[in-house]
Amino acid sequence: MTKTQAQPPSTAPTTRLLVPALVFIALVVAAVASLGTPLITSVATAFEVSLDSAQWTLTITLLSGAVATPVLGRLGAGPHRRATILATLAIVVGGSAVTALPLPFAWLLAGRAAQGVGLGLTALMMGVARDHLPEKRSAATIALISVVSIIGAGVGYPLAALLAEFGGPRAAYGLGLLVTAIAFLTAWRSIPAAPEGRSAHVNVAGALTLAGGLLLVLFLAGDRNLWSRHLPLAVTLAVAAVLLLCAWTAIELRATTPLVDVRAVRHPAVAGANIAMFVGGIGMYLLLTLITRYAQTPHSAGYGFGLTTFVAGLVLIPFSVLGFVAGKLTPRVRKRIDGPLLLAGSAAIVGGGFVLFALARSSLAELLVAMGVLGLGVGSFSAAMPGVILAVTPKSETSSAMSFNYIVRSVGYSLGSAIGGLVLATGTTTGHLFPNEDAYTTAALVGVAAMAITTVTSLVLARREH
C-alpha cells in the first residue's frame, strides 16, 4: 500500500491564498523601504544629525536593495527559492526591529540597509506567480505585483508621517516592524517550494563586481554635494563605476552560471523594455519628487502650499489609487493592445502629467490632478512592463530577468531624484533657501523630454515586434 502524506500549508498553498500573499509581501517591502522619505526631517531632529545624513536613511535602502536584487534573483531561480524568501524576510524583520529600538544613528542606518534587502523580493514574487498560477492569472498577478511595488510608497508615506508627528520616527519604524513580521508569517504559510529540477549557482565574482558598480552609481546619483564641491573625485568615481560595470558584463558573458543572463538582456524586446524603464523611471520619480516638494514649500517663498509632512503625504493618495486601478485594468487592455504600445501610451500619460504641472499648479486641486495622472501612467507602465520582458523569457529565468529590470528602475529613480535636486539647486538664488518657481517649470520640461524619449523607444520596440 502506498502511503501519501499531506503537504503542510507552507508548501501546498491554495491559489486563492497565494495571490493575495504575493501582492501583500511585495506591497510591504516597498512601503517599508519608502519609510525614509517622510521621516528625514524627524530623524534629523531626533538623532541630532544633519539633513544630508538623515537622507541616508532613504538612500541606503535603495543601495542595499539594488545590490541584493540580482543575487536574490539568481537564488530565486533555483531549488531553494522558498528558503531564500523566508531568510530575506527574516533579515527585513530583524532590520525593522533595529530601527524601532532606542539605538544610535549608525544602528538606524544598519537597520534601514537590512530593510532595503527586501526590495529584491519583488522579482521572486513574480517567479512564484509564474510557476504556480495558470497562465492568464499569473500574468495579471505579475502585473499587479509590479504596480504595488511602486505605489507602496504612496501607501506608507501618510501613515508613517502621522505616526512620526505624534510618536517620533521610532513609532513610524515600529509600524514597519509590525507589517514585516506579518509578511514573514504570510510567506511561511503561503509560499510554495520551487518546481523540481531547478539549479542556481551565484557567480560570486560577478555579484561583487556588480555590487561595486551599482554602489558607485547610486552614491554618485544621490550625493549632489560631491559633484559641486569635489568634482575631480566625482569624475574619478564615475569612471570607476563604468569600468566595474563593463568588467561585470565581461564576467557574465564568460560565466557558465551568470548572475544575469546578459545574452537574454540583449534580446531586442528585453533591451528596449529596459531602456524604456530606465529613462521612464527618471521621469516618473522626477515628477513625484517635484510635486511633493512643491506642496511642502511655504507661502513665504512666493509659491507653494506649506503643507505639513502628513498632509503632503495625503497628496500621494490619487497617485496610489489611480495607479492601483490602472494596474488592475492593464491586463485586460493587454489582450487588445500589444505591451510595447501600452508602454508608449503610459509614458505619454506621464508626460501629460508633467505638462499639467508645468502649466497649472496655482491650486492644490491642480497638484492632485497631476499626481493622479502620474499614478495612472505609472500604474499602467508598471503593469505592462513584465509582460514585455517575460514574453521572451523562460519560466526558470523569471526572477533573474525581472531583478535586472528592477536594478534598471532603481538607477532610473535615483537619477530622477538627483536631476530634480540639481535643477532646483541651480534655480536657487544665493542666500535663499528655496528655488525660484521657474526652476520647477524647467525641471518639468526635462521630465517631458524624458517621457518623450520613453514613448519613442516603446514605439520603436512595438514596430520591431511586427
- Residues 272-323: tens digit of each pLDDT: 899 999 999 999 989 988 998 898 888 888 899 988 877 877 888 899 899 9
Q: Does the pLDDT of residue 9 top 50, yes or no? A: no
Q: Report the percentage of the chain scoring pLDDT > 90.
A: 39
- Mean pLDDT in residue range 174-185: 94
What is the distance between the alpha carbons of residues 283 and 18, in angstroms, rounded to a whole number? 33
- pLDDT (mean) for 234-239: 92
> How many Å apart are CA 202 and CA 287, to the nearest integer?
37
- The DSSP code sequence of 295-332 is HHS-GGGTSS----HHHHHHTTHHHHHHHHHHHHHHHH
- Identical fold for domains 10-193 and 260-466, yes or no, is yes
Higher pLDDT pick, 265 / 177: 177
Residue 4 has pLDDT above 50, yes or no: no
Q: CB within 8 A of 76, min separation 6: which ones?
A: 84, 85, 123, 124, 127, 194, 200, 399, 400, 403
Residue 376 has pLDDT above 50, yes or no: yes
What local confidence, expressed as pLDDT, does residue 12 receive? 44
Q: Is the pLDDT of residue 7 over 60?
A: no
For 101, the grid coordinates are: 529600538
Question: For all residues of the chain together, what is the average pLDDT?
Answer: 85
What is the topology classification, in CATH, of domain 10-193? Growth Hormone; Chain: A; (1.20.1250)
Q: Using the predicted structure, report yes or no on whether residue 186 has a pLDDT greater than 90.
A: yes
Residue 349, all three cell numbers: 500619460
Asked if residue 277 lies in contact with residue 412, where contact means CB atoms within 8 angstroms, the answer is: yes
Quick one: CATH architecture of 260-466?
Up-down Bundle (1.20)
Answer with the residue of higher pLDDT: 373 or 134. Answer: 373
Q: Return the pLDDT at 1.
A: 43
Determine what percent of the chain is predicted with pLDDT higher than 70.
94
Specify the pLDDT at position 10.
41
pLDDT band at 455 (very low <50, low <70, confident <90, very high): very high
Query: How confident is the model at residue 199, as a pLDDT?
Result: 65
For the cut 60, the answer to whether the pLDDT of residue 183 exceeds it is yes
Report residue 439's pLDDT band, with 50, 70 and 90 as the boundaries: very high
Task: Say whether pLDDT at 382 is over 70.
Answer: yes
> Which of the four pLDDT bands, split at 50, 70 and 90, describes residue 63?
confident
Residue 466 scores a pLDDT above 70: no
pLDDT of residue 441: 96
- In this prediction, residue 372 carries a pLDDT of 94
Instruction: Give me the pLDDT at residue 3, please.
Output: 44
- The most confident of 24-33, 91-100, 156-165, 334-343, by mean pLDDT: 91-100
Helices then strands, each counted (H, E), the chain: 19, 0
Per-residue pLDDT of 109-136, as tens digits, reads 999 999 999 988 998 999 899 888 888 7
72 has a pLDDT exceeding 90 = no
Cell numbers of 391, please?
514574453
Q: Where are the domains of the chain?
A: 10-193, 203-258, 260-466
Return d(Cα 327, Cα 277) in angstroms, integer. 16
pLDDT, residue 90, reads 97
**Position 88 pLDDT exceeds 90:** yes
Task: Say which range, 10-24, 74-88, 102-116, 421-435, has the weakest mean pLDDT.
Answer: 10-24
Q: Is 435 a residue whose pLDDT tops 50?
A: yes
> Residue 5: which pLDDT band, with cuts at 50, 70 and 90?
very low
The pLDDT value recorded for residue 311 is 83
User: Residue 166 burial by CB count (10 A; 0-12/13-18/19+): exposed, middle or buried?
Assistant: exposed
Read off the pLDDT of each residue in 205-213 and give the average, rounded to a whole number. Answer: 86
Average pLDDT over residues 145-172: 81
pLDDT of residue 51: 65
